[in-house]
Structure 1
Amino acid sequence: MFIPITGVATFMLVGYAAADTKAPEITSDQIEVPYGEKFDVDTVDVTDNRDSKDDIQVSADLASLNVEQLGDYKVTVTATDSFNNETTKEVTVKVVDQEGPKFETLGSNEGYVVEVPVNGSSDLSSYVKASDNVDGDVTPFIEADKTLDTSKLGTQTITLKATDVSGNETEKTIDFAVTDDDAPVVTLKNGADVTLNYGSDFNLSDYVDVTDNFDGVIQPQVEGSIDNHKEDGVQTLTIKATDSSGNESSAQLNVAVKDTEAPKISLSKSEVSVNVGASLDLSNYLSSATDNKDGDVKGKVSIPSVSTSKAGSYTATYTVSDAAGNQGSASLTVKVNAVRTSSKKGSAATGTTSRPNYYGTSVVGAAYSRLGCPYVWGAEGPNTFDCSGLVKWCYAKAGKSLPHSSSAMKSSGTVISISSAQPGDILWRPGHVAIYIGGNQYIHAPQTGDVVKVSSGVSSFTCAIRP
């Protein structure tokens, strides 16, 4: 019996297909996935007894996989051949970091040459940044084979290295060009518009400073000049400064020459002394008056006047103005001294005098301040006294000089009666003097073993003396 050939072929095909019941085999146990990249099922190794890998369908359950986090994950992989034979396997997927950090230059710098300002920061992070796909900014961990020296102009080649946590390392060699692009700074100390006193020397350093970030102090070039006797209009100077790198800056200074200086008055004395009632011509003490522009202005000086009718210390002020209105002055101290106006010196006057004791208050105050000081013969203070020494010291404090002798003191002032004595007057008797303080009382230095004290009873004195 013969079977048709077509029937045999069909039988063989059906029988063969039915015989493929073997599922594919997943041979991968572990697969690495780069950080952040999508899991690719084509990386799973699968074999089949019949089908090629391209004919096998592979799928994976990725619910537990996070490619944004390094680590190991269990992923279930399913493989199905063309005869629907299926197998599954739990494969370990390792999310790994295989990428090193990347360098980038900051600012306007591009490529492998970085511009650095002279004397700028030597911190490389000011010019270069390193970032990693996993660790982010790793700039603080950049290592360099040498230190950047910004104090020197020129190019410095430095090799940088950055390493991430996973140990991936990147090196980059960069040229750092240290350059000076900053022009000198011209500082006008008093502004662009200044005034120069007529006839005074013009010193540029009084008005201008020039400094540079690299060269330090620079001597500028000046276009123009100043005539210190020219008051008409404004004179302009152009200040230019160029540093060693060729950077240039400039400024203008406008100078107006004006007479701003007051005349100077010179006096022959700083202090004069006259008696009460004396005539006083203060023009006698004016030596000269000169002005920087007008010259001799002595004839224009205003001469002051001082009344000598009352004792005291006065200030006489001389003034003069120049043609520009500047006023100068000088002062003279005038001391008007109290003097005897009635009764002849040294006479035993029994009447009264109309002149008051100008020193009274000061003398009495000084006497009170010495109460309790010991008596020492010949002493005149400040802590020990004899009788005339105490009177001499107290009057000196009031500005009046007296001799250290009771007899000489009687001849140094106006002799008046005891009844006419005023506080501060000197009480006198042969061999002893005291200071009258009023109310029948006086202060004196009595004798050896005693102290300066207040005593009563002025009738023991012969007369009073008013210096």
Structure 2
Amino acid sequence: MTQNAHVTLHAIVDRIKTQKTILLPAFAISAFALVGYAAADRQAPVIHSNKIVVPYGTYLNASDFEITDNRDNLDIMDVSIKSGTYEAKQLGTYRVTVTVTDTFQNTTDKEVKVQVIDNEAPVIASRTEGGYIIDVEANGSNNLLDYVKATDNVDGDVSEFITFEGGIDTTVIGEQKVVAHVEDNAGNVAEKTLSFNIKDSVAPTLTQKTQSFDVNYGDTFNPADYFDVSDNFDPSPVLTVKGDIDTKKLNSEQKATIIATDNSGNETKQECTFNIKDIRGPEIKLNTNKVSITEGTSVNWKSLLVSAIDNLDGDVTKTVGISGNVDVNNEGNYTATYTATDKTGNTTVVNIPVEVKSRNAALIQTALGKIGCRYRMGAVGPNVFDCSSFTRWVYRQNGRSLSGTAAVQFNSTQRVDRNALKPGDLVFFKNTYKKGISHVGIYLGGGRFVHAANEKKGVITSSLGESYYAAHYAGGGRV
């Protein structure tokens, strides 16, 4: 209490003692006023902070700064922050002005540096909603980034920077663990152990194979005749039938449920109505599935037929029709057709390929096997020939009779027009080294022939279209 206040107080007391007319309440009020006046606050608050560091995204308030006052607590003081260029979501250092006023109106101003930093690590999480375990469908993607993401408060999506210890195998059902790491641009590192639950929750797919559910009378019912089944994980899902199908009840409608089940227990069901009908022709059995004969060979086509049995009509073998365009006298590929029809009108057709081989096929191979052999007039083979001994030797090697010179062979064979020549026929030439028929070769087909040409060339192949041979061509012959 100051000296002046003390003197004043004694003066008042003396006055009260001498002047008894002053009331006690008036005295009390005056005394408290003088005490308050004596305790008046003249000291301003203190801002201790010169620089503060705040996390990215911080919106400044008084508690971020160190501020004290001789009497007031921070929560009752008036704090004003002039942020200026301060950006809460921009890393860097800023200058802000802080003004603090206490309850006695004492004011302090100070410029404080504020550094915004990133000290928060990215967050690693599942891309899907759920708990701590990430569900992955069996046989799904093995790319972990399809299931995991990383988000940073500053850098945003940093998923592409995630590294993993290990991986997942979606072909194996069960729980698999992987450790994920990611670092943001500020160097904050996150690590998380992720649990993946590889499961098969997808039911098999039923695909209808037929336009209708008609079942042939008397057949063993098989759902696989009407449906294909596939699954994302199980390579062999099972088809079953709920309900009985009696294929002996002709022209009836019967209901059943087709069920596809995979090895994880997932099911797909389809209810169907099956119609029992006679929809298939007789079953034709042959004792061969291909016929191969040599030109000129006759075939007993009925002998190839074993049976024709119908599910309703029984044995209908005698009604089988046989047709085709087979020419056994000409080399080529043909088809023989066997046809059977039951009383319902169902028809079965069985086609078998028929190959008519040239009777000279082996002969041609024998002739071609001598290409390169030498030529000498009068030689008889087997490795040196003239033109007629070459044809004689080749024919005899294949059990065919042929003798004499080129002229003799010409006269002993049947004439064949040039456009009717077949492989193995003989081709004759005249006026080559002497008048008349003087050279012979074996026709190969396609306008070419093989022959013992001369001492210079030996056994070669040539074309009937060559100018020399075209000019001397005399005709074709068939043995």
Structure 2 partner of 1:39: 60
Equivalents in 2 of 1:156, 1:304: separation in Å? 66
Equivalents in 1 of 2:160, 2:353: separation in Å? 73
- Contact kept? 2:431, 2:437, Cα under 8 Å: no
Q: Which structure 2 residues correspond to residues 403-418 of structure 1 after superposition, within 5 A?
A: 403-405=402-404, 412=412
Q: Which of the numbers 89, 106, 109 marks the counterpart of 1:68?
A: 89
What TM-score does the superposition give when structure 2 sets the normalisation length? 0.56
Equivalents in 1 of 2:33, 2:378: separation in Å? 166
- Contact kept? 2:410, 2:437, Cα under 8 Å: no
Structure 1 partner of 2:436: 442
Letter in 1 for 2:261: T
Give the CA deviation at 1:172.
6.6
Q: Which structure 2 residues correspond to residues 71-90 of structure 1 after superposition, within 5 A?
A: 71-80=92-101, 86-90=107-111
SS at 1:322 equivalent: strand
Closer, same or farther: CA 332–152 of 1 in aligned 2, 3 Å: closer
Equivalents in 2 of 1:131, 1:120: separation in Å? 24
Structure 2 partner of 1:246: 265
Closer, same or farther: CA 84–312 of 1 in aligned 2, 3 Å: closer
Structure 1 partner of 2:375: 374
Letter in 2 for 1:374: Y
Aligned positions, number: 395
Deviation track 1:164-193 (CA, whole Å, cap 9, x = no partner) reads: 5556666777765443322233455x3464
SS at 2:135 equivalent: strand
Closer, same or farther: CA 55–13 of 1 in aligned 2, 3 Å: farther
2:308 is equivalent to residue 291 of structure 1: yes
Letter in 1 for 2:96: V
SS at 1:115 equivalent: strand
- Contact kept? 1:266, 1:330, Cα under 8 Å: no
CA RMSD of aligned residues (A): 6.2
Structure 2 partner of 1:220: 239
Equivalents in 2 of 1:422, 1:113: separation in Å? 88
2:153 is equivalent to residue 133 of structure 1: yes
Give the CA deviation at 1:63.
0.8
Equivalents in 2 of 1:59, 1:167: separation in Å? 34
Closer, same or farther: CA 435–400 of 1 in aligned 2, 3 Å: farther
Q: Which structure 2 residues correspond to residues 98-177 of structure 1 after superposition, within 5 A?
A: 98-102=119-123, 104-109=125-130, 111-121=131-141, 125-140=145-160, 150-155=170-175, 164-166=184-186, 176-177=196-197
Letter in 2 for 1:287: S
Closer, same or farther: CA 405–295 of 1 in aligned 2, 3 Å: farther
Structure 2 partner of 1:356: none
SS at 2:110 equivalent: strand
Letter in 2 for 1:245: S
Equivalents in 1 of 2:168, 2:332: separation in Å? 75
Letter in 1 for 2:151: S
- Which structure 1 segments of 5+ residues have no match? 275-281, 338-365, 415-420, 425-433, 457-464
Closer, same or farther: CA 443–230 of 1 in aligned 2, 3 Å: farther
Structure 1 partner of 2:51: 30
- Contact kept? 1:389, 1:404, Cα under 8 Å: no
Equivalents in 1 of 2:325, 2:143: separation in Å? 77
Give the CA deviation at 1:40.
0.8
Equivalents in 2 of 1:41, 1:54: separation in Å? 9
Equivalents in 1 of 2:233, 2:106: separation in Å? 81
Q: Which structure 2 residues correspond to residues 449-464 of structure 1 after superposition, within 5 A?
A: none
Deviation track 1:331-362 (CA, whole Å, cap 9, x = no partner) reads: 98999x9xxxxxxxxxxxxxxxxxxxxxxxxx
- Contact kept? 1:377, 1:386, Cα under 8 Å: no
Deviation track 1:115-153 (CA, whole Å, cap 9, x = no partner) reads: 333344455544454433223234455677875565554
- Contact kept? 1:283, 1:303, Cα under 8 Å: no
- Contact kept? 2:52, 2:112, Cα under 8 Å: yes
Letter in 2 for 1:384: F
What TM-score does the superposition give when structure 1 sets the normalisation length? 0.57
Equivalents in 2 of 1:83, 1:265: separation in Å? 121
- Which structure 2 segments of 5+ residues have no match? 1-6, 16-29, 360-366, 419-426, 441-453, 459-467, 472-476
Equivalents in 1 of 2:323, 2:75: separation in Å? 125
